[in-house]
Structure 1
Amino acid sequence: MNKKIEIGIITVNDPKNYGNRLQNYALQQVLRDYGTVSTVNQFLNVNRPVEIIEKRLFARLRPVLNRFLSLMPSERSLDFKRLCRSDAFTRRYVPCSQLYASTCLTANNIASLKTVVVGSDQVWNDRWISGRVLSARLADMTNDKTRLISYAASFGINQVKDESKPIFKKQLARFSAISVREDQGVTLVNELSGKPATVVLDPTLMVPAEHWRSITRGFVPRDDKYVLTYFLGKPSAEQECTIQEYARKHGCRVRRMIDSCDPETYVAGPEDFVELFSKAEYVFADSYHACCFSLLFHKQFTVFNRAGTKGKANMNSRMETLFRLFELDSVMLDDGLAPEIDYKKVDLLLQQHRAESKAWLDTAMEA
């Protein structure tokens, strides 16, 4: 990037997570209205030079490893192929800049940034990370000259650990504006810092469907007719029967994301995820971003409670907030098909929430 970078994004850098890669791309697109943008390359180990060497070695050896593993019909080879496609997506669309942040509380070039934006995804979920990493996810390496805001940041949990509370209290006080992805996030920010927070749309919903289609690369065969599933948990026997019955009735095959029983679909990269949703006949899922992309592409879909849970009381706050925003409380079921979604109403609500989220961001970026 030749232009001086003005805005840095601090997010979760997870190459294995579709939602993470796509929200990173979307947030970058949204922030381009305000200046040149790049994602901060977070090195979460103290020994940063070792990490740099590892990344460079992986880049050099990737073609050889890919050729070798392609000969091995195993889940490990499928994982590697999917990782390579995700890595290619990141290098093509959301490459990390020469802005580095590490948990040894040092930073390179971040002081030169006009703005740092934290979000989206579960950047503040302290169940997965140490206190040092949490501090980095709260942009503790920035100085007082850098505008610090969050966009659609998510906790992903109802309560934080006691040992995290002082970190949140100290670091959230430095933010000039805070927005979150779920209603519970508003409550947590207020409890932890006394500061107000606003619910905004996930950045994936801020990018129009036609733009998402423009990054697809022909992963889905022409005239493929399929029901798409995307489950982070495992469907119950009853839920699986519903899926099979729908597919049989409508003359579809079933394509299963992140299920090694369907190797053709398993190796999909982030842009392939988008294409699979854009061309599906119907979607069954238990994932937040599966709902987001189903809404963007006007897909009828059913969200199943994960096996072992019952009823809407078990929804996490981000799903519950999404359904509140789009008046879709009835799409989450223990089994069966959700009522048909009225996309004229959804599009009106999407237009409204996009305008509100953009207005919040305009104000935050001007403060």
Structure 2
Amino acid sequence: MPTRSVDVPLDQLRKKFDYFSVGSDQVWNPNYVDCYRWMFLQFAERDQRVALSPSIGMSSLSSPYARRQISRGLRGFDRLSVRERDGAELIKQLTGQDATVLVDPTLVVTANSWRSVACGRMVPDRPYVFTYLLGDRSVEQDAYISAVLDELDAVQISLSDKARDGEVDAGPAEFIALIDGAARVITDSYHASVFSILMGTPVTIFRRGGVFKSVFQTRNAYADVWTAERSFRRRVF
């Protein structure tokens, strides 16, 4: 998708565009947000603001400051949707507003659309298992990965957010291609799970933090992915 840079003060942006959208992964999580004005589009007019499947990433807020800032930001939207059911319930508690639960924005386009922007320069010629693990791995998880590698007679391609030794230097385009071409994906990542589902790649999902659990025991957000994906596929045309 083409993009362009707009080098003007935020307060002047609303004069250049009709609408502004905020969405995707944990953009409303108070542990990550450092500019509420930006993440809640407060530089734009109210009727220009669109919330397209943003994620709060939490089912409750203990900080009075976070509750106050997020409540204030949410009340600035007439077009309000979220990615998770927990997020919709939290918004209802904070503001009394009803938020529509929509699929993750990555599911709005087809697998072939993602393939058109993928880069296969890191995809090997032989079978491989792509491991994308953001949390610490347990001994049990390492043993499971080794067993899968032996079963599939595959090599391992590893990626995380910790710059571990031996990891590939992949960007978003390579990330998509590595998932698409893998014999198996093993991950504790929401979006690696989403792309595996979308691409039809076999996937094992770990609970993050070194605890070995099956996909059915992971947090509710993953269950939402499967539910939303099945619903989404029925509506593709």
| TM-score (structure 1 length as normaliser) | 0.58
Counterpart code for 2:57 = G
- Structure 2, unmatched stretches of 5+, are none
Find the partner of 1:269 among 157, 163, 171. Answer: 171
Partner of 1:318: 221
Partner of 2:232: 350
Matches within 5 A, 1:64-79: none
Is 1:98 paired with 2:7? Answer: yes
* 1:199 to 1:303, Cα distance in 2 relative to 1, 3 A: same
Partner of 1:162: 64
Q: Distance in 2 between matches of 1:257 and 1:280?
A: 13
Q: Distance in 1 between matches of 2:123 and 2:210?
A: 36
Partner of 1:175: 77
- Structure 1, unmatched stretches of 5+, are 1-28, 30-92, 102-106, 327-345, 356-367
SS at match of 1:177: coil
RMSD of the TM alignment (CA)?
2.4
Partner of 1:152: 53
Alpha carbons 1:135, 1:167 under 8 Å: kept: no
Q: Distance in 2 between matches of 1:218 and 1:149?
A: 34
Counterpart code for 1:151 = L
Question: Which aligned segments of 4 or more residues in structure 1 are displaced greater than 6 angstroms?
Answer: none
Task: Give the length in aligned residue pairs.
Answer: 233
Deviations 1:80-107 (A, max 9, x none): xxxxxxxxxxxxx544433553xxxxx2
Q: Distance in 1 between matches of 2:216 and 2:125?
A: 39
Q: Percent identity?
A: 27
Matches within 5 A, 1:118-197: 118-130=22-34, 133-144=35-46, 146-160=47-61, 161-197=63-99
Counterpart code for 1:323 = W
Counterpart code for 1:351 = R
Counterpart code for 1:124 = W
Alpha-carbon shift at residue 128 of structure 1 (Å): 2.2
Q: Distance in 1 between matches of 2:120 and 2:211?
A: 37
* 1:306 to 1:223, Cα distance in 2 relative to 1, 3 A: same
SS at match of 2:125: coil
Q: Distance in 1 between matches of 2:57 and 2:128?
A: 31
Alpha carbons 1:147, 1:176 under 8 Å: kept: no
| TM-score (structure 2 length as normaliser) | 0.87
Counterpart code for 2:143 = C
Deviations 1:138-170 (A, max 9, x none): 1111124x4212001110112232112232333
Partner of 1:114: 18
SS at match of 1:220: coil
Partner of 1:229: 131
Q: Distance in 2 between matches of 1:197 and 1:294?
A: 27
Alpha carbons 1:201, 1:354 under 8 Å: kept: no
Q: Which has the higher helix share?
A: 1
